[in-house]
């Protein structure tokens, strides 16, 4: 099968949206090249109290400035900033996690950039209004997963030249494999609510293997490619979990649904959550639809206080 370039994948999209995705892809190449030269940490923390690496700051500045100067983007909201920033003109609003998993940088483990794109929406915005979402993976090779209205595409930076031709794909929309065999759940096991612990034990009894490396996009990508279940759940001391609705949960929920899976808060679709702020967190359960439905059924059957640890 002949490979298709990123430009080929985007050929039926609106011209301005196509330009935006190509710009993001080009910037991902710059970030991938910067990573080996940016191992130091700063003394800063982001608005969520998490320590920032040097490249967190650099990648946020790069993405934000280039997007706002492009003439395409009116508003950018980033996990590394406490408020969205705006340009004088532009059609799109973009949400960013500039470098997810940056704590992995010293051990050379997976990191990534998460992006959500809205047209004519003001952030915070409902995930159901996303026009598209994507993430880039900085691992043994540079890869991109692009979620469009017509499906999800896997691309690898294996070509030559600019991003438009460098990112290549088989051109076939990706679907979650129907019979997954891996799972990943964030947070300390002793802090999982009872239902989550029991569900994880059930998966293990069915032969599911644990895969968890501390990078949301890295851990999620294994589920997307192989099938299975990922969660950063409600915890006994953090009932909203850890993941940010705008920057993390909505974009990957969009990709999950477009790939034929389900994305839930435990009681309903993530994409239908009405946002109350850019800093909002949400319990996040992603993966094969049957597994997510099974988890939702358990959540729906819980009795008062049943989420306390045994």
Q: Which CATH superfamily is domain 4-169 in?
A: Fructose-1,6-Bisphosphatase, subunit A, domain 1 (3.30.540.10)
Q: Which CATH number fits domain 182-300: 3.20.20.140, 3.40.190.80, 3.20.20.70, 3.40.50.150?
A: 3.40.190.80
252 alpha carbon, distance to own chain's centre? 4
What pLDDT shows up at residue 308?
39
**Is 42's pLDDT higher than 60?**
no
Residue 50's pLDDT is what?
58
| Residue count of the chain | 310
Burial 12-43 (b: 16+ CB within 10 A, else e): ebeeebbbbbbbbbebbbebbebbeebeebee
Which whole number is the average pLDDT over 269-282? 96
**pLDDT-based confidence at residue 213 (cuts at 50, 70, 90):** confident
Q: What is the pTM of this model?
A: 0.93
Distance between alpha carbon 268 and the CA centroid of its chain, in Å?
19
Average pLDDT for 4-10? 97
pLDDT in tens, 101-157: 887 777 778 899 999 999 989 999 999 999 999 999 999 999 999 999 999 999 999
pLDDT at 51 over 70: no
pLDDT at 270: 98
Distance, CA of 244 to CA of 297 (rounded, Å): 24
Q: CATH 3.30.540.10: which residues of the chain?
A: 4-169
Average pLDDT over residues 219-242: 96
What residues does CATH 3.40.190.80 cover in the chain? 182-300
**Range from 28-32, 38-42, 185-189 carrying the lowest mean pLDDT:** 38-42
Give 40's pLDDT tier (boundaries 50, 70, 90).
Answer: low
């Amino acid at each position: 099968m002949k490979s298709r370039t990123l430009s080929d994948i985007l050929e039926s999209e609106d011209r301005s949206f196509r330009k935006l995705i190509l710009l993001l892809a080009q910037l991902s190449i710059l970030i991938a090249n910067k990573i080996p030269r940016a191992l130091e940490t700063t003394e800063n923390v982001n608005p969520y109290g998490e320590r920032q690496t040097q490249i967190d700051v650099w990648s946020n500045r790069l993405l934000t400035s280039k997007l706002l100067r492009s003439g395409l983007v009116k508003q950018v909201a980033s996990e590394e900033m406490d408020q969205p920033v705006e340009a004088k003109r532009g059609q799109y609003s973009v949400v960013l996690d500039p470098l997810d998993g940056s704590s992995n940088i010293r051990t050379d483990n997976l990191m990534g950039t998460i992006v959500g794109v809205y047209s004519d929406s003001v952030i915070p915005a409902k995930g159901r209004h996303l026009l598209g979402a994507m993430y880039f993976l900085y691992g043994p090779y540079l890869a991109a997963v692009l979620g469009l209205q017509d499906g999800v595409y896997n691309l690898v930076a294996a070509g030559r030249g600019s991003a438009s031709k460098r990112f290549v794909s088989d051109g076939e929309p990706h679907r979650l494999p129907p019979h997954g065999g891996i799972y990943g759940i964030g947070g300390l096991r002793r802090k999982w609510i009872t239902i989550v612990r029991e569900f994880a034990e059930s998966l293990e009894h069915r032969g599911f293997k644990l895969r968890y490396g501390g990078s949301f996009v890295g851990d999620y990508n294994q589920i997307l490619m192989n099938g299975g279940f990922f969660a950063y759940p409600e915890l006994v001391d953090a009932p909203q979990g850890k993941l940010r609705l705008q920057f993390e949960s909505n974009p990957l929920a969009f990709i999950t649904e477009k790939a034929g899976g389900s994305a839930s808060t435990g009681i309903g679709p993530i994409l239908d959550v009405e946002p109350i702020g850019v800093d909002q967190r949400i319990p996040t359960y992603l993966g094969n639809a049957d597994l997510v439905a099974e988890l939702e059924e358990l959540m729906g059957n819980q009795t008062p206080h049943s989420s306390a640890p045994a």
